[in-house]
Structure 1
């Protein structure tokens, strides 16, 4: 439990700092006094979630391979996997951003963007999509540092970029009068800082990155993609569900989209520890699996579920009480204010079940069952979202759509917990038989 809490706490500082700066960016944009601009950032963020999800999947694969090699005492293999993985990250993220860039307006229109929100969102993406490569490298370098058991330096990767963003956002948005474009430019700067700090920790301090080799990169493709592809597919499920929900909510107008954008920034700050927990527990499980300590793997899983549940209960109660403050901070008015208050009041149950899925995903990805992550995440994003959100919004408006998300997540969250214990039970049986 101590290892889980320490790793999660360190990762939380850096991760929540990113979410907090994203929140501040939207807060600054909302102070411009135009709901269309807030909606534009909301639409663009939903698109960026797809790129972020790909980066997360790649970083999961690198972390899993490096941690297993370290757990097995094979440092040369760990260094080779780190180098090959970073090469794969550059190639994949460059391809994705290049493919999405010319289609950004069409993609935003699919999400329901129109008018000024569409124009501003397209410009924002034109600036930020090309730096997806730096985001992927930074996240992967942080994953390598967590894999070797250095959560402090992994925290520095994201914390450094976040602090730079917090300092520069007001300057570019208000000081230079660049508005939303200023926020996008600062994003570029922060992504570059991610990579610089990450390379310093992983390469100079730990010397955990071998010299990249084309032969090694090609040879490691099966191992890397065997984890990365299911992990990417798994992580793409969340933005798919978010995109569908955004499209449904966009039918009710930009005031509703603005509320959805605000809560999309508030929730990761409030419940960001769950993301850090799922990212931190993977290397712990991977090392214990590499050392064939299956009993510890199961204990780590239980500890994670306990930590996640307790955290959600405490934060959900606090967020419910803080709803008026959130409304005031973003200068939300009318329908936007009402919806933000509603989302703050009823977000807890949604994140309780999402937290269960996050922890279960970490177990699936690091214990050799990545297809289960894909199954449960896509199940929630499709069967657990589309019919529930559609029905709820059609009969009870935006509030009904949000309650639909909760109902669908409950169904798959419970199933993911059961499956996670089935996986550890199967590993224990196989280990005993061997």
Structure 2
């Protein structure tokens, strides 16, 4: 009885191994969405403000810059996935000391990795942007923007990792505050730097950089001050936990980097159709995270739920959480698709989009947005693979989607004469590739969970009779 009471009083006790998995998934997704979408809305507003400056080249420059930054951010997301998976698993097994040592190791690793990647990109900015198709004035503006923003990427990575630690412990509210605080800070500073100080695109870069200090500060407070989730690892502990982190983080990094590779392929395919087409692609790139932010949040939210239950030996709840996530993906995507369809003309007017830019936005809102049902399914499948010891599978599926699920599809699309020309065909091709790989990933995840067994070495912390499993497999429910 005393042990049970102590567990209830411990704010790092595993919260997801009891109660409704659907409720846990909804709460974690909702709180994660608020903070995440706040940042995406600021990016959306950035592009809106820049569009008001009246130069297509400026919007196109932001599109190229965003594609390049996506590579570094994806590496940070992949590392955060590894940190969150291992910490949530340790907490699920009731081992807080291991969780703290793992968290400290993860923060050291993510800071070092993103610092090296940022330095590389900063040194070779012109070559990298030229490779994406940026030229002349557009190239010059993109370089200026990134020279200001890229040095702050390690701060962004640490803040993301802190938010991941808060999700791992189940503190959805503070995880939300981390990203929400950064979004609010940027929203306040954007118009000041862009318009009041007349800094234009560089003003947006300064605002973005300063907001990352807010992100990190709130993350440090929640993860280290409130929950005491981080300890500086000894050399022995660093070596021990680094191996486990790398085993998950490297495949997760490769998995996440595949997404910007796919985006870079699409950007390069759209570039020959002109700056207006690239500007349209940039607008679509800002619509996606704002409209489908809950899907991005859900893929991050379900990870700790899967990890804690897996660490606790609750395979039945792992399976149920996976199904709950897929149900939410389907329902949310259909609703958002309908909203985008109705709002397609106002969105075009909001950004003063014309020609290819307007055509791409309308096409996305009318048809392509539906493909996020399958994108979301792929995200959830990848979260399952990363948290259940099959991280290599997520790498295979994301790279498959980014290469053979993108290259041939967008090439064929570009050759066809759609209503607005080949640029629209590129977008359609990308969507078709998402359908194929989303379905394949879900089927594979389903089969993995039918054969899933409790992890060796992690003592289950829940011993009551398991709930009926949603998958028909005696082994899976045992």
Shorter-chain TM-score: which interval? Answer: over 0.9
Q: 1:316 aligns with which of 330, 337, 344?
A: 337
Q: Residue 281 of structure 1 aligns with which residue?
A: 302
Q: Residue 237 of structure 2 aligns with which residue?
A: 216
Q: Is the 8 A contact 1:301 1:359 kept in 2?
A: yes
Q: 1:425 aligns with which of 437, 445, 450?
A: 450
Shift of 1:348: 2.2
- 1:12-71 deviation per Cα after TM superposition (whole angstroms, max 9, x unaligned): 001111111110111111111000000000000000000110010011011011100100
In structure 2, C-alpha distance between the alignment counterparts of 1:260 and 1:53, rounded to whole Å: 19
In structure 2, C-alpha distance between the alignment counterparts of 1:283 and 1:67, rounded to whole Å: 5
Q: Is the 8 A contact 2:111 2:157 kept in 1?
A: yes
Q: What secondary structure is seen at the aligned counterpart in 2 of 1:186?
A: helix
Shift of 1:352: 1.2
Q: 1:413 aligns with which of 433, 438, 452?
A: 438
Gaps of 5+ in 1: none
In structure 2, C-alpha distance between the alignment counterparts of 1:138 and 1:433, rounded to whole Å: 37
Gaps of 5+ in 2: 1-21, 454-472
Q: Is the 8 A contact 1:84 1:213 kept in 2?
A: no
Q: Is the 8 A contact 2:86 2:102 kept in 1?
A: yes
Superposed, 1:35-434 pairs within 5 Å as: 35-396=56-417, 397-428=422-453
Q: What secondary structure is seen at the aligned counterpart in 1 of 2:416?
A: helix
In structure 2, C-alpha distance between the alignment counterparts of 1:189 and 1:430, rounded to whole Å: 53
| Distance change in 2, residues 1:181/1:430 (3 Å) | farther
Q: Is the 8 A contact 1:350 1:405 kept in 2?
A: no
Q: 1:13 aligns with which of 7, 13, 34?
A: 34
In structure 1, C-alpha distance between the alignment counterparts of 2:386 and 2:79, rounded to whole Å: 12
In structure 1, C-alpha distance between the alignment counterparts of 2:198 and 2:300, rounded to whole Å: 37
- 1:332-359 deviation per Cα after TM superposition (whole angstroms, max 9, x unaligned): 1233222211121123222111001000
Structure exhibiting the larger radius of gyration computed from Cα positions: 2
In structure 2, C-alpha distance between the alignment counterparts of 1:292 and 1:84, rounded to whole Å: 25
- 1:385-422 deviation per Cα after TM superposition (whole angstroms, max 9, x unaligned): 00000111122311111111111111111100101111
* RMSD value, Cα: 1.3
Q: Residue 52 of structure 2 aligns with which residue?
A: 31
Q: What secondary structure is seen at the aligned counterpart in 2 of 1:416?
A: helix
In structure 1, C-alpha distance between the alignment counterparts of 2:406 and 2:321, rounded to whole Å: 30
Which segments of structure 1 move beyond 3 Å, counting only runs of 4 or more?
A: 212-215, 428-434
Normalised by the length of structure 2, the TM-score is 0.89
User: Normalized per residue, which structure has more helix?
Assistant: 1
| Distance change in 2, residues 1:148/1:105 (3 Å) | same
Q: Is the 8 A contact 2:450 2:476 kept in 1?
A: no
Q: Is the 8 A contact 1:172 1:186 kept in 2?
A: yes
Q: Is the 8 A contact 1:88 1:217 kept in 2?
A: no
In structure 1, C-alpha distance between the alignment counterparts of 2:477 and 2:435, rounded to whole Å: 35
Aligned length: 434
| Distance change in 2, residues 1:126/1:75 (3 Å) | same
In structure 2, C-alpha distance between the alignment counterparts of 1:249 and 1:86, rounded to whole Å: 37
In structure 2, C-alpha distance between the alignment counterparts of 1:135 and 1:19, rounded to whole Å: 14
Normalised by the length of structure 1, the TM-score is 0.98
Q: Residue 12 of structure 2 aligns with which residue?
A: none
- 1:220-242 deviation per Cα after TM superposition (whole angstroms, max 9, x unaligned): 22111101000000001110010
